[in-house]
C-alpha cells in the first residue's frame, strides 16, 4: 500500500510560468506542502482548478480559476478528469490517500477512494495554519532531541564559538520528546560559550534576560515583593547611581543563587554552529516562530513559566518575549538547518 497526498491549489501565485510546487505561494499552500513532505509519502500531487492533477515538477502558467466559483456540474466534470489521471498513477482501492484540500476539491473524489484521511477537516484557515506549524515543530523536536545534549557542568571548549542554542527543561515534553523551551543566540563574534556561561554560571541577571525571567517566575511564585526590585537594571553607571540604593545586595545574591540552581538542575541544551551573524539571527527568529505557533507544544501544569508576570511567556510556553509568531521555517530552511548540523 502506498501513501499519497493530494494538496489543493491556491489563489495566490507567482506572476510567471513555474513548477507547480513553486507557483502557489500562499502560506497555507506552503504549509500543506511542507506537512505533506514530512509524512514521507510515496507521491504528492496538486489538485489544480484549471489543470486537474499535477505532479510537483510540472511547469504551468499562472491562472485565475477556483472550484469555489464553478457549478456542481463543472466540479463533477473536473473530478472525473482527475480520477482518470489518478487511476494511471495509484491504486484507488488500496493506496492510502491523505487530502490536504478543501471540501469542493474532494467532494466528488471521495466516493471512489476506499482508504482516505482528512487531517484538517473542519478547521478554519487560522487553525489549519496552526496545525501545519505543529508539523514543522514536530520535525524540529525530532531533529534536536537526536542531537548531543549538554547539561551542567559542561565543557565550554566543546561549544562552537558561534551559533544557536536550544534549551530543554526537565518535566517538559512535546511531540513525544523533550519540549523546546527557549531558543537563543549571540550578536558578538565568538560569544556563544560565554553567552551560555552568562545563563548557567554568572550570577548577574542584568547580563542574561533568561536568568531575569527565571528569577521573575520564582519570585512571583513565592509572592515575594522583591520582584519589583528584581526588575531594576543597574547595568549602566547612571542606573547604579539612580537605583543602586534600592537593591538589597544580600537578597539579590540569594535570588541569584536560586536562579542558578534552578537553571543548572533543570535545563539542558543543544548547539548548532552558525558562523554568520545575520544567518544566526534569521534562523533563530524562524525557529522561535515555528515553535511558538505550534498549538501542540503546551507546557505542563507544573511549568515554572506559568508563574511568570510576562503574559507572552505564559502564552507561548517559552522563556521568550521576542520573535514570537512571525515567519516560520520553510522547507529550504530545514535543508539549510540540516547542512549546518551535519557540518
pLDDT tens digits, residue range 32-84? 998 888 788 999 999 999 999 999 999 999 999 999 889 999 999 999 999 99
Query: What DSSP string describes 210-270?
Result: HHHHHHHHHHHHTT-TTHHHHT----SHHHHHHHGGG--HHHHHHHHHHHHHHHHHHEEEE
108-114 long-range contacts, CB within 8 A, separation 24+:
108/75, 108/76, 108/78, 108/79, 108/80, 109/6, 109/79, 109/82, 109/83, 112/83
Percent of the chain with pLDDT over 90: 78
pLDDT tens digits, residue range 182-231? 999 999 999 999 999 999 999 999 999 999 999 999 999 999 999 999 99
Mean pLDDT in residue range 133-155: 91
Residues 6+ apart with CB under 8 A from 147: 270, 341
3 state SS of 166 = strand
Burial class (CB in 10 A: 0-12, 13-18, 19+), 237: exposed
Cell of 256: 541569584
Q: What global pTM score does this model have?
A: 0.67
pLDDT at 134: 65
Average pLDDT, the chain: 93
Residues 6+ apart with CB under 8 A from 88: none
What's the CA gap between 269 and 292, in Å, rounded?
Answer: 18
pLDDT at 259: 98
Task: Check pLDDT > 70 for residue 316.
Answer: yes
Cell of 330: 520553510
Amino acid at each position: 500500500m502506498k501513501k499519497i497526498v493530494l494538496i489543493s491549489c491556491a489563489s495566490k501565485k507567482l506572476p510567471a510560468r513555474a513548477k507547480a510546487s513553486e507557483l502557489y505561494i500562499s502560506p497555507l499552500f506552503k504549509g500543506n506542502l511542507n506537512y505533506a513532505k514530512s509524512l514521507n509519502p510515496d507521491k504528492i500531487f496538486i489538485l489544480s482548478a484549471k489543470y486537474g492533477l499535477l505532479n510537483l515538477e510540472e511547469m504551468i502558467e499562472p491562472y485565475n480559476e477556483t472550484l469555489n466559483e464553478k457549478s456542481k456540474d463543472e466540479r463533477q466534470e473536473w473530478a472525473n478528469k482527475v480520477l482518470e489521471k489518478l487511476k494511471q498513477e495509484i491504486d484507488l482501492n488500496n493506496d492510502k490517500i491523505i487530502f490536504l484540500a478543501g471540501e469542493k476539491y474532494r467532494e466528488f473524489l471521495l466516493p471512489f477512494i476506499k482508504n482516505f484521511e482528512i487531517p484538517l477537516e473542519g478547521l478554519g484557515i487560522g487553525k489549519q495554519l496552526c496545525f501545519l506549524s505543529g508539523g514543522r515543530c514536530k520535525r524540529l523536536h525530532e531533529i534536536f532531541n537526536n542531537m548531543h545534549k549538554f547539561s551542567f557542568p559542561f565543557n565550554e571548549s566543546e561549544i562552537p564559538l558561534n551559533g544557536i542554542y536550544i534549551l530543554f527543561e526537565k518535566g517538559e515534553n512535546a511531540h513525544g520528546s523533550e519540549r523546546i523551551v527557549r531558543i537563543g543566540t549571540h550578536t558578538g563574534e565568538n560569544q556563544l560559550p560565554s553567552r551560555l556561561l552568562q545563563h548557567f554560571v554568572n550570577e548577574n541577571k542584568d547580563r542574561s534576560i533568561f536568568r531575569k525571567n527565571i528569577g521573575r517566575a520564582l519570585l512571583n511564585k513565592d509572592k515575594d515583593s522583591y520582584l519589583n526590585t528584581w526588575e531594576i537594571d543597574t547595568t549602566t553607571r547612571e542606573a547604579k547611581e539612580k537605583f543602586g540604593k534600592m537593591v538589597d545586595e544580600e537578597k539579590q545574591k540569594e535570588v541569584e543563587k536560586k536562579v542558578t540552581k534552578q537553571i543548572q538542575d533543570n535545563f539542558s541544551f543543544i548547539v548548532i554552529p552558525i558562523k554568520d551573524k545575520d544567518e544566526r539571527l534569521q534562523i533563530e527568529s524562524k525557529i522561535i516562530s515555528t515553535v511558538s505557533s505550534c498549538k501542540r507544544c503546551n507546557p505542563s501544569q507544573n511549568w515554572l513559566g506559568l508563574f511568570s508576570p510576562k503574559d507572552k511567556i505564559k502564552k507561548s510556553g517559552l522563556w521568550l518575549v521576542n520573535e514570537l509568531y512571525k515567519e516560520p521555517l520553510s522547507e529550504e530552511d530545514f535543508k539549510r538547518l540540516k547542512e549546518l548540523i551535519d557540518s
